[in-house]
Every structure is written in structure tokens, then in C-alpha cells.
Amino acid sequence: MKVKRDDGVEDIQAVWMEDEGETVKMIDQRFLPSELKFYSAENYEEIYRAIKEMMVRGAPAIGVTAAYGIAQAEIQGEDVEEASERIRSARPTAYDLFHAVDHMLDNLERPCKSAEKYTGSVIERCREIGENGAELIKEGTNILTHCNAGALATVDFGTALAPMRIADRDGKDMHIYVDETRPRLQGARLTAWELYNEDISHSVIVDNASGHFMQRGEIDMVMVGTDRIVANGDIANKIGTYEKAVLAKENDIPFYVAAPVTTYDDSTERGKDILIENREDEEVKEINGNMITPEESDVENPAFDVTPVDYITGYITEKGIFSPSELKNMF
């Protein structure tokens, strides 16, 4: 991931290990875009906190952080089973978290090497997603994306943003509509920050404007990431994704989901069976510590919604681009 600094441009990963696994460092995404700050996790409890409090977020990046946390627990002589259960409990919806923990429990002989190998595989899968998805992007394409599915969410490259990065590298002209993604504003804060640092043309729009731009013919495709794909092809992604999919279908706009195959959960049959995380009232009631609702008002704050398979045009994976029927057959 390219980051513009006062002294030039630097390549930075969203999360990495130092000190032979004793320390896990990450970009603290709560402070972006105003400040580039880093958080150091010294034990698995601090890894749990980093995931729970969304210092790190995005399914693949959460998975990598979890893998590092299990490696760290093993190196420090902690109870690895206890550490794994604690880390699993941090975010219930993102499937990569559970996949990463299971992977590490099966590969603890050389914990640092196993975690780094897992991280390398995540980065490579995202690069391949970018190569495959870039084929969909033609000269002059206008793309709507929701939430943040870039390098910050995946360690490097991204899922939904990876095809845009590769298309930009290949010299294709395009424009990205970035909806703000309330309540935590991951689009306005994080996706826009990534695109700015990559010099990719983009506009930030309010969440409620996407239908307006679709209706006017100013959006050619929608491209999002996902935290989980279940057996029938339904997906769980950031709250508001379902609305984008419905609007896209109404306006005959293709709707693509970009994700590594590790996001596929064949143990869950339908989207309605996915456990949806509900988060704190303050995320809705406050912005930057300023109250925007009456204190007495009740809040409902689901972090994700489910988009049924019928609204999905295709899935962009490291193995290729698949229609819903092809996805089922592949797995």
C-alpha cells in the first residue's frame, strides 16, 4: 500500500510482526485519515482488543492479525486454546477470523513462520483477485464501492479495491464513487484515503446518493468485498450492502463481490443463518465525540447485512470470476 509522507511515498502493510513474533504492529485505522498512527500488540489479549475495537478491520486483515496473535501466544508460552477462543470471540461475522485461527492451531510447530506464510498467502490471493477483476474494468468505467475493501482491510492490495489498483497500474482511466458508509465512515475515511494515496480518481458521496447516481446512468458497476460467503451464495458484508445490490438490480447494473476463497463458509447454508454482529450505540449517536442524536433515543446498530445470491452478478476470486451457479459447483 502506497502512503504519501512528507518525505515521499512509502510502502506499508496494514499489519505485521516484529521482534521474532513478540510484537504485532498495525496501522490504527481509528485515526485515519487525519493521523497515521500505529498500535503495538504485545500479547493475545491486546490482539483481541485490536480486533474488537476495530483498530484493525476487514475480514482478511482480521484473519492475519488473529494468526499473528496465535503465534504470539505460542511463543510466549500462553494457553493457545484459551487464546484462540478469546480471539475468536472478538468479531463473530468475519469468517476469515475463524479460518486463520484453525490454520494456526494445525501449524504450531514453527509459529512465526506459519503466521508469515499465512500472511503471504493472503497478500498473494488479493493480488490475483486484482488481476482477475481488472479484466472487468474497461476504459472510462465508473465504479461504486461500499465500505473499505482495500489494503487496510486485507494487509495489501485489497479485495474490491485490488482490481482498481491493477487497472490503474495498467493505465486504464476510471472513476470510483466511494459512499461514506455510516456509522464508522469506512468509505469516506479509509477507502478515500487509499485512493488518494494511489492517485486514483474518486468522489466521496453520502450513503443515500448511490441510487441517484445509478438512476442517472453515472455508475457502470458495483464492486464490494465481503466478510462471508455461505453455501448458497448469499453474502454478509458491511451494513448497507444489501441496499446497493437492490438498487443495482433495479437499474440493470452488475454487482460483483470480490473475496478470497477462504471467505467461503460451506458449513452455513443460507445468509439468514449468519450471526450478525451488533455494535455499540455510540457509533450511531456520536461522530468524533459529538452527540448527533438525543441521548435518550434507542439505537439499533447491526454491523452487517445479508445480500441474497439473486442480486449478485459474480464473485471475483483468486481462482477466477464465477457466476453464482459456478461458485456452488466449484466448492
DSSP assignment of 177-205: EEE--TTTTHIIIIIHHHHHHTT--EEEE
Q: Which residues, including other chains, have CB under 8 Å from residue 237's CB and lie 6 or more apart?
A: 146, 147, 224, 225, 226, 227, 257, 304, 305, 307
Q: State the DSSP code for 208.
A: G
Give the whole-angstrom CA distance, residue 124 versus residue 132: 12
Give the model's pLDDT for residue 93: 74
Q: What is the CATH number assigned to the segment(s) 2-125?
A: 1.20.120.420
Q: What is the CATH number assigned to the segment(s) 135-330?
A: 3.40.50.10470
Angle between helices 111-133 and 95-105 (to 10 degrees): 140
Of 156, 227, 234, 265, which one is the catalytic site residue? 227
Q: What end-to-end distance do the CA atoms of the chain give, in Å?
A: 31
Give the model's pLDDT for residue 71: 96
Give the model's pLDDT for residue 284: 94
Tell me the sheet residues that pair with 202.
Answer: 176
Give the model's pLDDT for residue 91: 87
DSSP assignments along 46-69, one per residue: HHHHHHHTTSS-SHHHHHHHHHHH
CA within 13 Å, CB half, 69: 33
Give the model's pLDDT for residue 10: 87
The CATH 1.20.120.420 portion of the chain extends over 2-125
Q: Assess whether 227 carries a catalytic annotation.
A: yes
Contact 67, 262 (CB under 8 A): no
Give the whole-angstrom CA distance, residue 26 versus residue 35: 14
Tell me the sheet residues that pair with 18.
Answer: 23
Give the whole-angstrom CA distance, residue 331 versus residue 268: 13
Q: Which residue positions in the chain have pLDDT lower than 70?
A: 331
The CATH 3.40.50.10470 portion of the chain extends over 135-330
Give the model's pLDDT for residue 331: 63
Q: State the DSSP code for 331.
A: -
pTM of the full structure: 0.92
Give the whole-angstrom CA distance, residue 261 versus residue 331: 9
